[in-house]
C-alpha cells in the first residue's frame, strides 16, 4: 500500500525553481511550487507543510491543514507577528546554520575598513599608485551582540588576535570572550569597542535596541556592522549619527525595510558600506536537508530542529 504523500508548499522569491528541482523526485511529497506571492495565497489551503524563505503577510490565512512551517532563514519574527497566522502551528527555523557565513562576512568587512580597500579600488580605477597607511585587526576590540550564530564571528575574530566581548539576553561566561554583558550592561558593553557586530534576532526586546543614544556611548572611531535584523537599529538615528561623526562608519547588510528605498540617504554616505542581504545566504542543498530531517522528525513524533518560541520571537 502506497504511503500518502505530504503536500509541501515551496516558496522563495528568487530560487523556487532550485528547491522544486531538488524536492520533485521525492515519492513521499506533493510539491506545491509557488513563484509569486499570489500563488502562495492560492495554494496555502492545500499545504500540510510550508517551506519558505520569507512569506508575504497574510499569505497563510487559509492554511488550515498545516502541520508545521519550515523557514529557510534564521528569523521567524515576520511570520510570528502576522495576525493571520495561527501561532499554534510549529515554526522551525534554520538558525545555527549561518555562523560560518557570518564570520566570513564580518571579518571580511573589518579587513575592508582597516586596510581601506575601497580607497585601493578607487585608485586602481583611476590608475594611481599612492601608498597610504593601513591598520590591523590584531589587538582591536570587537563587540558581538548576539551569541547564537554570533559565536562563530567571535571565535573567528579571536583567532585573528582580536579582543572580543559579547552581549546576550542571559549573560554567562563564554570561553574565548573576555566579557559577556546582558541588557542591563548595554552601555558598558558599547563604550570601548573598536567594532560592533550586531548578530541579534528581532524580538520585542531587541527592536530598536541601538539608536543615537547608544551609539554615543561608542568611540568616534568605531564602526558598526549589522548582519542580524534591520529592525534592531533605529535607522533614522543611525543616519544622523553617521552624519554627525558620532561613530566613524557602518556596514549594513540588513535594513528596516527591504529592499532599501532608492531615496534612503544611506546610499550616498561615504562612511557606509551596503550589501543586499547577502551575508548568510540560504543554500538550497542545506535547507532541503533540514526540511527532510524535520519531516522525518514530525512523522516519527520527535521535536523539530530549530523550533521558534512564539513568546520570544525566535
The verdict on whether 216 is a catalytic residue reads no
Residue 175 annotated to the active site: no
Our CA angle for 70, 198, 147, nearest 5°, is: 65
Contact yes or no for 8/23 (Cβ under 8 A): yes
User: 202 Cβ partners below 8 Å, 6+ apart?
Assistant: 75, 77, 228, 229, 231, 232, 313, 314
Query: If you ran DSSP here, which 8-state letter would residue 20 be given?
Result: H
Q: Identify the active-site residue in 138, 178, 243, 258.
A: 258
**Catalytic one among 165, 229, 234, 298?**
229
Q: Tell me which of 87, 207, 212, 277 is the catalytic residue.
A: 277
Rg (CA), the chain: 21
Task: Please state whether the peptide bond connecting residue 151 to the residue before it is cis, i.e. omega within 30 degrees of 0.
Answer: no
Is 277 annotated in the active site? yes
Tell me how far apart the alpha carbons of residues 191 and 179 are, in angstroms, rounded to a whole number. 13
Please classify residue 25 by burial: count the beta carbons closer than 10 Å to its beta carbon, then call 0-12 exposed, 13-18 middle and 19+ buried.
exposed
* Distance between CA atoms of residues 100 and 213, nearest Å: 31
Catalytic residues: 229, 258, 277
Amino acid at each position: 500500500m502506497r504511503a500518502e504523500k505530504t503536500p509541501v508548499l515551496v516558496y522563495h522569491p528568487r530560487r523556487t525553481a532550485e528547491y522544486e528541482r531538488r524536492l520533485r523526485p521525492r515519492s513521499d511529497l506533493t510539491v506545491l511550487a509557488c513563484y509569486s506571492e499570489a500563488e502562495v495565497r492560492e495554494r496555502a489551503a492545500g499545504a500540510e507543510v510550508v517551506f519558505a524563505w520569507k512569506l508575504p503577510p497574510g499569505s497563510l490565512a487559509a492554511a488550515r491543514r498545516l502541520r508545521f512551517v519550515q523557514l529557510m532563514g534564521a528569523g521567524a519574527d515576520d511570520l510570528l507577528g502576522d495576525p493571520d497566522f495561527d501561532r499554534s502551528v510549529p515554526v522551525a527555523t534554520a538558525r545555527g546554520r549561518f555562523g560560518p557565513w557570518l564570520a566570513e562576512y564580518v571579518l571580511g568587512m573589518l579587513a575592508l575598513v582597516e586596510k581601506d580597500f575601497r580607497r585601493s579600488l578607487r585608485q586602481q580605477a583611476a590608475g594611481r599608485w599612492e601608498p597610504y597607511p593601513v591598520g590591523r585587526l590584531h589587538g582591536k576590540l570587537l563587540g558581538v551582540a548576539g551569541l547564537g550564530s554570533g559565536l562563530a564571528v567571535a571565535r573567528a575574530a579571536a583567532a585573528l588576535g582580536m579582543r572580543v566581548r559579547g552581549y546576550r539576553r542571559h549573560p554567562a561566561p563564554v570561553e574565548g570572550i573576555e566579557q559577556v554583558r546582558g541588557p542591563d550592561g548595554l552601555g558598558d558593553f558599547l563604550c570601548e569597542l573598536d567594532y560592533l557586530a550586531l548578530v541579534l534576532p528581532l524580538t520585542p526586546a531587541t527592536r530598536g535596541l541601538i539608536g543615537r543614544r547608544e551609539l554615543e556611548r561608542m568611540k568616534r572611531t568605531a564602526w558598526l556592522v549589522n548582519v542580524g535584523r534591520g529592525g534592531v537599529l533605529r535607522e533614522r538615528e543611525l543616519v544622523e549619527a553617521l552624519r554627525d561623526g558620532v561613530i566613524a562608519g557602518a556596514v549594513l547588510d540588513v535594513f528596516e525595510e527591504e529592499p532599501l528605498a532608492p531615496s534612503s540617504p544611506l546610499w550616498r554616505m561615504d562612511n557606509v558600506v551596503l550589501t543586499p542581504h547577502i551575508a548568510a545566504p540560504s543554500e538550497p542543498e542545506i535547507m532541503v536537508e533540514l526540511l527532510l530531517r524535520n519531516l522525518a522528525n514530525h512523522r516519527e513524533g520527535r521535536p523539530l530542529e530549530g523550533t521558534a518560541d512564539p513568546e520570544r520571537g525566535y
